Amino acid sequence: MAAAATSVVVLDRGNNTTCTINLHGATVVSWRVNNQEQLFVSKLASFDGKKAIRGGIPFVFPQFGPWSFGPQHGFARITRWHLDRAPERLHNGDVEAIFSLMDNEFTRSIWNYQFRITYRLILREKELHFHIGVYNPSKDLSFTFNMLLHTYLKVPDVRRCQITGLHGCHFIDKTREGAMYQEGREVVTVNEWTDRIYQHTPQEHVITNVVSGRKMRLHKYNFPDTVIWNPWIDRSREMSDFGDDEFPNMLCVEAGNVSSPVILLPGTAYEASQILQIIIEGNVSRKTKRNR
């Protein structure tokens, strides 16, 4: 119990803006901006260093969903990661830290491949950046994997949230036996058990009515899919590490490689990234900023 429970790394940018990572799964367990928590963590979440942490941003790899060889959502979220570079203040005031996970006896007992993942987190004033590199050091063996950031956003009332950027996308609906549908709504809302894998989604989603009624922009790169999840009433009761009354206060918007696994050839690497940005009304979108 002791080792895992105490292994947290804190990025502190000052101004009550911090990001806390638990080495168990390199799970981001808190992102506070001016003292306001942006992420949901269940009050029943387990920090025993064994079970996945129910909330924050668990790191899903190398499998999304049920797995015949190993645990649901893979082993990365239940394995202890290494802190490669302790939190460091950059010249522009941002704070950066780098974590890594390599194959070990446990991972090879489930998935017999060599790999190395680097996970660089950068805490900015109103943004959190995630840069991921997956490397295949093998001389002759390729491997395939899924990868996903299982982001639990904290929301005052999920029924008031709207998600953009899904219109026209095809999705696998896990609440309807995995049947495939096409999204007809301009903005997606959540008013029931929702568990959908949207495929080939655009690089940007805006989620409205997150903490303090603000909007959150999720910008992703090399993560072609977006999973939207809320367990609602019945599924909440099935989870021992999730309160029956907590579903209105969380919304999972998860950027990932789910529908088409990545094939990584020997000696090659794969990079992906995500940016979570709190939108202060009037601040310009990432695209416009770049076009300036």
73 binds ligand TA6 (CB under 6 A): yes
- Annotated ligand binding at 182? The verdict is no
- Is 150 annotated as catalytic? yes
Take residue 154 and report the two structure tokens written for it. Answer: 């904290």
246 binds ligand TA6 (CB under 6 A): no
Among 6, 15, 16, 72, binds ligand TA6 (CB under 6 A): 72
| Cα–Cα dist 193/229, whole Å | 8
Take residue 166 and report the two structure tokens written for it. Answer: 């899904």
**Only segment of 65-73, 98-106, 134-142, 214-222 that touches ligand TA6 (CB under 6 A):** 65-73
- Annotated ligand binding at 120? The verdict is no
Q: Is 90 exposed, middle or buried (0-12, 13-18, 19+ CB in 10 A)?
A: exposed
| Cα–Cα dist 61/4, whole Å | 19
In the bound state with ligand TA6, the residue whose beta carbon lies nearer, of 246 and 254, is: 254
**How many residues interact with ligand TA6 (rule CB under 6 A)?**
11
Take residue 107 and report the two structure tokens written for it. Answer: 């991972």
Nearest residue relative to ligand TA6 (C-beta): 229
Residue 258 C-beta-side C-alpha neighbours within 13 Å:
23
Q: What x/- string results for residues 157 through 186 when contact with ligand TA6 is judged by CB under 6 A?
A: -----------------x------------
In this structure, are residues 8 and 22 in contact, taking their beta carbons and an 8 Å threshold? yes
In the bound state with ligand TA6, the residue whose beta carbon lies nearer, of 20 and 146, is: 146
47 binds ligand TA6 (CB under 6 A): no
51 binds ligand TA6 (CB under 6 A): no
Residue of 96, 183, 246, 254 with catalytic role: 254
| Helix H or strand E segment including 28 | strand 27-33
- CA–chain centroid gap for 259, Å, is 16
255 binds ligand TA6 (CB under 6 A): no
70 binds ligand TA6 (CB under 6 A): no
Residue of 150, 183, 205, 246 with catalytic role: 150
In this structure, are residues 134 and 146 in contact, taking their beta carbons and an 8 Å threshold? no
SS (H, E, C) 136-182: CCCCCCCEEEEEEECCEEECCCHHHCCECCCCCCEEEECCCCCEEEE
Report 136-155 residues binding ligand TA6 (CB under 6 A). 150
Report 13-32 residues binding ligand TA6 (CB under 6 A). none
Take residue 216 and report the two structure tokens written for it. Answer: 């959150």
Take residue 255 and report the two structure tokens written for it. Answer: 């950027």
- Annotated ligand binding at 176? The verdict is no
229 binds ligand TA6 (CB under 6 A): yes
52 binds ligand TA6 (CB under 6 A): yes
Of 203, 193, 182, the closest CA to residue 228 belongs to 193
Catalytically active residues are 150, 254
Binding residues: 54, 72, 77
Q: Which residues contribute to the site for ligand TA6 (CB under 6 A)? A: 52, 65, 72-73, 150, 174, 195, 227, 229, 252, 254
Binding residues for substrate: 54, 72, 77
